Structure 1
Amino acid sequence: FSSFYVLSLLVFYTVCSSEKHSLHFKFTALSKADTFPEFSAGAVADDRQIKHYSNEERDWILTEDDWISAPEEPPDSRDWFLHQLNTLSNFYRECCSVIVELHVLQRMIGCELEKLPDGTVSLRAFDEYGFDGEDFMAFDSDTLQWIDKNPKAKETKMKCDQQTGRNQFLKHYLKNCINWISTFNNTRKSKPNVHIILRKAPNDQNKQVLICLTTGFYPRDIEMDIRFNKTVLKDQTSSGIRPNDDGSFQMRTSVEIDRSHEGIYDCSVIHSSLTEPVSEEWGKYHHKYIVHHSVCSN
């Protein structure tokens, strides 16, 4: 049984340890900007903002110096993007006879890579637009055509399809993005710090809440489970993966447990910075102590 368990754990760790990299340029334009800027843009690589657009300087500012080798931002300027928003806003005002005070145009262009445990590599490049919170259209670099994701985009799609020079350039830009991310090697890795905490359940004196907190890890992807005697517990509640101020990440998972259960609880964590899974235990000693302490404190 123990040999089977070790083998299963190693297989599970291998399956979960795929490597992902991404580069996303994100743009947003507002037709009516009272509180927010009418134009904002930024570049995010592997969950870190590496560039942002300064409306004051009308230029891109490098946020992370160690990403200086990243591909240049797309050539379309701030004024070009605002012009597209203005054109779309006027078109819907004329065709639909509907007056909307605020229109929002968004764009995300970039590429993604995933190295799977079996050695295969998945690559994706994209240029996608959204309008007023809905998918609008996307570029197909193989056909040099645009795909309308919304009936409202048909007119714009036909115009963009005719811009053959720009479409050729976009294909070249996305190819460069793929070439860059295929050779990219992010050497930054930070191991997770794992903590396990036991608290009283708020609504049931016979229950306690076991909390696993892991923090300080990088890159973002992580697997964490609360187990009882090496068996993963059901009905766990997760905070999801959240950013820390230093660019690393944290995650919190909790589950209600019975006070009367004897055994060993642990937090099992799998992360690419680790050569093997780590486990932080809440053993029998801790379990009995916290129950006694809780009873005496009532």
Structure 2
Amino acid sequence: MFLCFVFIILLFHYFLGDALQEKHHLHFKFTALSKANTLPEFSAEAVADSRRIFHYNNKEKSWVRESLTEDDSEAPVKPPESRDWFMHQLKTLSNCADSECSELHVLQRITGCELEKLPDGPVNLTVFDEYGLDGEDFIAFNSDALQWIDKNPKAKETKMKWDRQTERNQLLQHYLQTCMNWISTFNNNRKTPPDVRVFAVKAPGDQHKLLLSCLATGFYPRDIEMYIRLYRIKIKDQTLSGIRPNADGSFQLRSSVEIDRNHKEFYDCFVIHSSLTEPASVEWESQWALKAVLITVSILVLVVICYCIYQRKRLNGEL
């Protein structure tokens, strides 16, 4: 019995720890595409925790800030490469002539930094810069050694050439360090607890059912665990909306489940988030609970009225 109890406690801490684990990222994504008889295409964007904060405007040939809050306005603007540099590399790596490219070729790049906070305190910070060519891994940058790693036999010549570009590699190393410093400082300072609400509406297509929903909104960072419980036991087959961004940079999540319209059970919404010192539980004020409150209040009012009548009659000598 004792071993079973210990196992349950350890299992609870395992899942709780996993939910409290935080992950954050700042990714810059680039795509250059060329094909015969068409103009080359280029796109780029910066994404912080699944929220786009910059994109490249091809018409003005500049980066445009968007969806920025006061807290993330100091994010690194962009890596030290231009659109023209990308298009030149695409032609070079795909062996295209200056005039045309007989086949479709795509050069992709993802660079940035990631932060992972574990429940027991350690923080993991990583940086990366990786390229793909025509759907295959191509080459990646080692910021510690200031050298490139060829991930494809076709990249050996490119590795030798890029390794000799010491000034560019130093600029890239500086950018990655700046990215890492920013994401570490930013995500250490920003934590917003969720606003949690539980409510029910008529279930569509079934007059005997209610759709019980739990909504958590306004929270940051993005990672959260939330579910509806019946007598503090997690209900299976819940419908989750998926974590969605709010206009202010925070996030929201909705969980729903169908229940019997005439139920008399106890439901609550259970939430685990890194901004909370302990998990939160928000009870649903059901129609039966409200009826019980109304009945209790009515009885108390009736007792008070009867007592007042009794006292008045006693004082008037009617009793």
Structure-1-length-normalised TM-score = 0.73
- The match for 2:59 is 56
SS in 1 for 2:94: helix
In structure 1, stretches of 5+ residues that fail to align are 93-97, 290-298
String of CA shifts for 1:204-233, please: whole Å, max 9, x gaps.
888765433333333211111121110112
- The match for 1:28 is 31
- The CA deviation at 1:195 is 3.3
Separation of aligned partners in 2, 1:7 and 1:281:
26
- The match for 2:120 is 118
Deviating more after overlay: 139-148 vs 278-287: 278-287
String of CA shifts for 1:114-143, please: whole Å, max 9, x gaps.
232222111100111233444333212233
Query: Over the residues paired in the alignment, what is the CA RMSD in angstroms?
Result: 4.0
- The match for 1:226 is 228
- The match for 1:40 is 43
String of CA shifts for 1:168-200, please: whole Å, max 9, x gaps.
332233223323333334436253343333553
- The match for 2:80 is 75
- The match for 1:237 is 239
Q: Mapping of 1:79-98 within 5 angstroms? A: 79-90=84-95
Equivalences, count: 279
String of CA shifts for 1:234-275, please: whole Å, max 9, x gaps.
233323212233433222223455678752222212223434
SS in 1 for 2:115: strand
Q: Mapping of 1:1-298 within 5 angstroms? A: 16-32=19-35, 38-63=41-66, 64=68, 66=70, 67-90=72-95, 99-101=102-104, 103-184=105-186, 185-187=188-190, 189=192, 191-200=194-203, 209-257=211-259, 262-282=264-284, 285=287
Would the alpha carbon gap of residues 179 and 216 (structure 1) be closer, same or farther in structure 2, given more than 3 Å must change? closer
Native 8 Å contact 1:196 1:281 kept in 2:
no
SS in 2 for 1:52: strand
SS in 2 for 1:167: helix
Would the alpha carbon gap of residues 182 and 282 (structure 1) be closer, same or farther in structure 2, given more than 3 Å must change? closer
- The CA deviation at 1:149 is 3.8
Q: In percent, how many aligned pairs have the same letter? A: 61
SS in 2 for 1:90: coil
Native 8 Å contact 2:29 2:108 kept in 1:
yes
Structure-2-length-normalised TM-score = 0.69
In structure 2, stretches of 5+ residues that fail to align are 1-5, 292-319
